[in-house]
Amino acid sequence: MTDEKKGVIHRYSPAVHPFRLLCTILVTIFLLAGVIVLIVYLVYCPSKPHFTVTGATVFELSNSSTQPNVLSTSMHFTLVSRNSNERSSILYDHLSAYVSYRNQPITPPADLPPLLQNRASSIAISPVLGGDFVPDSGDVASGLLTDQAYGVVNLCFVLMGRLRYKSGPFRSGWYNMYVQCDMLIGIRNGATGPVPLINEPVCNVDT
C-alpha cells in the first residue's frame, strides 16, 4: 500500500539558510548589547551638577574717566559646583567665565583650567574677572550709575565649557555646558571690597 493510500502526507522542510541564521544571530547580539547598555546607563545614570554663587568681591566697577562708553571692571566671585551623583565623577574642560549686565558682557571672558569633580562632592571655582577696559552702551553706563546710586546691582555670572561623566570604566561623550547665575549684589558708587549677595543666586544649567 502506498503512502497516498494510507493518507500520509509528506511535507518538505527546507534547511535553514545560512544567511538567515547569521542575521538572527546578529540581531540577537545587538539586542543583548542594547539591554546591557540600558542597564549600565540606569545604574550609573549621571545627573547635572548644581551651581551656586557663594561670594562676591568688587575691586572696581565704574565708567572710565578718560574714555567715553568704556567700563573699568575687576571682580572676584566664588562659584560652588555640587555633584550629587554617588556613582559618576565629572570632568570639566574648555571653561571660561564672564560677567554681564543687562545682557551685555562687562568683563572679558577668562579662561579657566580643567577640573575633575569626584562623586558626591563639591568644588569651588574662584575666578578674578575684568582688569581690562570693556566697551559699553549708554544704556549700560547710565543703568550702572543709577543702580549703584540705589545700592543694588543686578549682575549675571556666566560659566561656559564642556563636561563628561565617568562611571567606573565607562565614560560619556563630551557635553556643552552653559551656566547662568543671576544675582543681586549690594554696592554703591565708589565702594570696593566684599559685597553682600542680596538674593540667593539662581543658577540655570544647560548641557
For residue 195, the enclosing domain spans 50-206
Q: Is residue 151 part of a domain?
A: yes
For residues 57 and 36, membership in a common domain is answered with no
For residues 38 and 94, membership in a common domain is answered with no
What distance in Å separates the CA atoms of residue 141 and residue 136, rounded to the nearest whole number?
7
For residues 103 and 195, membership in a common domain is answered with yes
pLDDT range class, residue 81, cuts 50, 70, 90: very high
What would the pLDDT profile of 87-139 be if each residue is shown by its tens digit? Answer: 889 999 999 999 999 999 999 999 999 999 999 999 999 999 997 788 888 88
Q: What's the maximum distance between 2 C-alpha atoms anywhere in the chain?
A: 120
Question: What is the total count of domains within the chain?
Answer: 2
Question: pTM of the entire structure?
Answer: 0.79
For residues 75 and 150, membership in a common domain is answered with yes
Alpha-carbon distance values, 23 to 17, 28, 33, 37, 103 (Å): 10, 9, 15, 21, 56
Q: Is residue 2 part of a domain?
A: no
pLDDT for residue 27 = 86
Q: Is residue 9 part of a domain?
A: no
CB 110 within 8 A of CB 125: no
CB 17 within 8 A of CB 41: no
Give the three-class secondary structure for 61: strand
Please provide the average confidence, as pLDDT, over all residues in the chain.
85
The C-alpha cell that represents 156 in the structure block? 549675571
Residue 74 has pLDDT above 70, yes or no: yes
| Residue ranges of E strands in the chain | 50-63, 70-83, 89-101, 104-105, 110-112, 115-117, 121-125, 128-135, 152-167, 170-171, 175-186, 193-195, 202-206
pLDDT for residue 33 = 83
For residues 106 and 195, membership in a common domain is answered with yes
Q: Is residue 1 part of a domain?
A: no
The one-letter code for the residue type at 203 is C
What distance in Å separates the CA atoms of residue 133 and residue 73, rounded to the nearest whole number?
7
Q: Is residue 4 part of a domain?
A: no
Q: Is residue 3 part of a domain?
A: no
Domain end call among 6, 23, 43: 43
Q: Is residue 7 part of a domain?
A: no
